[in-house]
Amino acid sequence: MKVQVPVHKNNDYQGTVADLTYQGNGVVKVDDFPIFVPNALPGEQVTVKVTKVTSHFAWGRVMEWQIKSADRVETADQKLLQSGIAPLANLKYDAQLKFKQRQIQELLAKAHLNDIEVLPTMGMADPYHYRNKAQVPVKLVRGQVETGFYRRGSHKLVPTEDFVIQDPQLDKAIVVVRDLLRKFHIAPYNEQTGEGVIRTIMVRRGYYSHEMMVVLVTKKRKLPMKEELVKGIVAGVPELKSLVQNVNSQRTNRLLGNEDHVLWGESAIHDTLLGIDFTISPRSFYQVNPQQTERLYSTAIKAAELDGSQTVIDAYCGIGTISLAVAQHAKEVYGVEVVAEAVNDAKHNAKANGIRNVHFVAAKAEDQMAKWQEQGMQPDVLIVDPPRKGLDEQLIEATGQMGPKKVVYVSCNPATLVRDIQRWGEQGYHVVKPIQPVDMFPQTTHVESVTVLERTEK
């Protein structure tokens, strides 16, 4: 049976934007039926043309604004709004911070956890040019080599030189490489035919060190005009410390292959985070907004209330950023991470910084927690910083068995955070302080947060 909906494709409707979705689209309702509208802000009165209809919602685009929001940024680059790069660039920054706080509040309310307070989001003084890593596709567009970003939901490249949220030195380096590829007629990789050479340009820059790395991701080991290209990049990127070719011969969406060749300089660059020196290789995971990462981790460490006598477990420890920072305040720190290369990086970083009270294991966090629990380990504090899918139930149950006094949850997804808070409740852990959101990714809809849970009963 066909579901009757109150809107039709290509028809125009007038309405007031009621809300923003977590993807940053405005919501206009016709007889309680939602139309998702890009570049529409709460409170605006708009005429919307419906572009797509499903049984539960529709998509539309703004044809005309009758009333615009006082929070609108008129100068926002429309190209960037159409990408995943800066979908909130049309919203004033203080309103972005409130939107992120409200995301968490609304999800808590839906889960009947209204008694948990959410503090105002910690923002940045300058919410632009913060990313220390860029990875841009290279494509042939109308016969010319271009770099840019894919339009959201497509594989159509939109050429651009200013990414707004990236360190300007990264944008400049990308243009240097692009112009050299044009000069030496080095063809981009074509996904359809499998022909061509250059897939992606990746650039990293240390926030404190100002050391730069350029990675050319290629289809094959053979790189035409290699010497000329290397010479041009070295001359054009004054802060360059490392120039690497990464070979990715697979027909895949994976960005990097498993083969690295140093073309010039070092195999890695360095930067510091919370006073600790980190080695960053092409495939190292390293936080892309170091200023806010320092604030996020400082908030988490402060929340742990360490005095040097505690044993701490850092689940999902990555390259050891939290573990190594916590080590200065704890007796022993145990880190677990599923990516073996990241664990090797963590061990290297611990050794390089002379930190001896940390122990890293390559394993699934939930498996290792269960193992540690069987071995009788009794941590005082558990710190978790999981991926967007949140925590595995097995990890929460193993924690319940181990019984640490405190859990510090660093979350990058409010939806899985709220789900996990409910699961922690079954193990006798409850939120004891207001949740602190931190804006790690200004101009986007993402929000990180720090939540503290303590054992109150079992």
| Active site residues per annotation | 412
Cα(325)–Cα(294) distance, integer angstroms:
10
Cβ neighbourhood burial of 340 (10 Å; 0-12, 13-18, 19+): exposed
φ, ψ for residue 229, nearest 5 deg: -65, -45
- Two structure tokens written together for 368: 């290792």
Per-residue DSSP letter, 72: B
Q: In degrees, to the nearest 5, what angle opens at C-alpha 170 toward C-alphas 167 and 174? A: 150
For helices 393-402 and 414-426, angle between their N-to-C axes, nearest 10 degrees: 40
Cα(174)–Cα(449) distance, integer angstroms:
32
* DSSP codes of every residue in 254-288: -S--SEEEEEEE-S-EEEEETTEEEEE-TT----S
Cα(329)–Cα(409) distance, integer angstroms:
18
Cα(170)–Cα(161) distance, integer angstroms:
10
93, 127 contact by CB (below 8 A)? yes
Cβ neighbourhood burial of 131 (10 Å; 0-12, 13-18, 19+): buried
Q: In degrees, to the nearest 5, what angle opens at C-alpha 433 toward C-alphas 431 and 436? A: 105
Cα(320)–Cα(234) distance, integer angstroms:
31
- In terms of DSSP H, where are the helices of 163-212? 168-183
| Length, in residues, of the chain | 458
- In terms of DSSP H, where are the helices of 128-256? 168-183, 226-236
- The candidate with the shortest Cα–Cα distance to 60, out of 86, 42, 80, 36, is 36
79, 158 contact by CB (below 8 A)? yes
Where is 243: in which H helix or E strand?
A: strand 240-247
For helices 93-110 and 414-426, angle between their N-to-C axes, nearest 10 degrees: 30
* Distance (Å) of CA 378 to CA 122, 234, 250, 289, 430: 33, 52, 45, 34, 19
